[in-house]
Amino acid sequence: MSASAVRIGIGGPVGSGKTRLIERLLPLMSAAGLRVAVITNDLVTTEDAERVQRSGLIDPSLVVGVETGACPHTAIREDPSANLDAAERLEQDHGPLDVIVIESGGDNLAATFTNELVDYWVYVIDTAAGDDIPRKRRLGLLRGDLLLVNKIDLAPHVGADLARMRADVAVARPDRPSLFTDLTQPDGAEAVFSELRHAVLFDRAPAS
Amino acid sequence: MTVFVTQLHGDVGEAEFAGRRVVEVQVAWDEASRRRLRRTATDGTDVAIDVGPNSYLADGAVLHDDGERLLVVARSREPALLIRFDLGLPGAQLIEQATAVGHVFGNQHVPVDVVAGEVRVPLTTSEQIARATVDSLGLDGVTMTVSEVALGARAPLSVGHAHGAPG
């Protein structure tokens, strides 16, 4: 049985709602008794890490920002060493941990996580970024363990056809789960957490 | 009831497993090196796999043996572009061709599988685009087909390059 924390990746384009998803998940994980740490990636800032640290949702010492300094997908796939080192330090300094959430920097539709880094990953897209994204069918959308179509509340404001998106997602991902949500709502991540509990946390009580 | 798998027990072809009823657990190529995975076997059994790092869920790997039934990994068959080279060409030219194919798909961050000299590329775009990618290289003697195959049956697919890598 794995002794280290379960690592959950969150990827997706810039502005899709990755950090917001983390902010919504943290209270749910805390309520479930899980001890969680967060690693965020940005190219040349630690702004996302600072945002989560300021949120009041988690002990700031459990949030680490990694400046990738290169294409974000490199740090979660081709060379995840910086993120692996950050995860190891968190476990050494704050263990035992139940979950480490790793947020990638905003990237293109082909970004994916290596299995060396994460046990499960969520791919987040923004409804307002175009209702044709599911039809473009790039790796991130196709292979993510969970696809989260966020900002569905914006659909009528940008002329996005949600019914079409749902149909396209069903074609692109017939065997993998997808959720449509509005993460500005307090309960916007409950279905996501339910999926995580089943798929990668195995509905078990925390080890810590 | 959930079956929790914490270690792999060998390959279904081994003598010790002869006579057991085999129930498949579908695992895709990009999930095979996961340390944690939850699946439903073909008989409806809920299976929670937690085998730790450095394990590989190869096609035929035995997840669970209760003396009567085996839960066995079955690699999902997925559409792939199968690329074959003319092995009658000079070795230097073949090396050049294989390198070009690997490089062009590596630039797309698409991993490849190599089985018996055949390069297998998971279809992450349309068949037309995948074929055009190879056609653009102008390689003599290369043939392509699209078929559903079990990618990464025994080992992980090769991964792409790292940007800014030295050399």
- How far is residue A115's CA from residue A3's CA, in Å, rounded to a whole number? 17
Q: Average the pLDDT over B129-137 and give the result.
A: 94
Smallest Cβ distance to A2: which of B31, B52, B125?
B52
Residue A2 confidence (pLDDT): 52
pLDDT digits (tens, 9 = 90+) for B33-79: 999 999 999 999 999 999 988 899 999 999 999 999 999 999 999 99
Q: Which residues of B touch A110 (CB under 8 A)?
A: 108-109
**Short-list B79, B93, B92, CA closest to B151:** B79
Who wins on pLDDT, A81 or B110? A81
In b/e form, how buried is each residue of A53-72, taking b as 16+ CB within 10 angstroms? bebebbeeebbbbbbbebbb
Q: Write out residues 65-84 of A within 8 Å (CB-CB) of B.
A: 70-71, 73-74, 77-79
Q: Which residues of B touch A120 (CB under 8 A)?
A: 36
Tokens of B28: 């895709």
Q: Given CB atoms, is A31 within the 8 Å cutoff of chain B?
A: no
- Contact indicator for B83, B119 with CB cutoff of 8 Å: yes
As a three-state string, the secondary structure of B63-111 is: EEECCCEEEEEEECCEEEEEEECCCCCCHHHHHHHHHHHHHHHHHCCCC
Who wins on pLDDT, B122 or A70? B122
ipTM metric: 0.84
Residue A205 confidence (pLDDT): 53
The total of other beta-carbon atoms located within 10 Å of residue A169's CB is: 22
Question: How far does A161 lie from chain B, in Å, by closest CA?
Answer: 23
pLDDT digits (tens, 9 = 90+) for A54-69: 999 999 999 999 987 7
Residue A36 confidence (pLDDT): 97
Preceding peptide of A96 cis, ω within 30°: yes
pLDDT digits (tens, 9 = 90+) for A89-123: 999 999 899 999 999 987 777 788 999 999 999 99
A110 and B109: CB-CB below 8 Å? yes
Q: Given CB atoms, is A176 within the 8 Å cutoff of chain B?
A: no
The mean predicted confidence, pLDDT, of chain A is 90
Q: Which residue of A has its CA nearest to B31?
A: A115
pLDDT digits (tens, 9 = 90+) for B72-124: 999 999 999 999 999 999 999 999 999 999 999 988 878 899 988 899 999 88
Q: Which residues of B touch A71 (CB under 8 A)?
A: 163
pLDDT at B160 over 90: no
pTM: 0.88
- How far is residue B38's CA from residue A42's CA, in Å, rounded to a whole number? 31
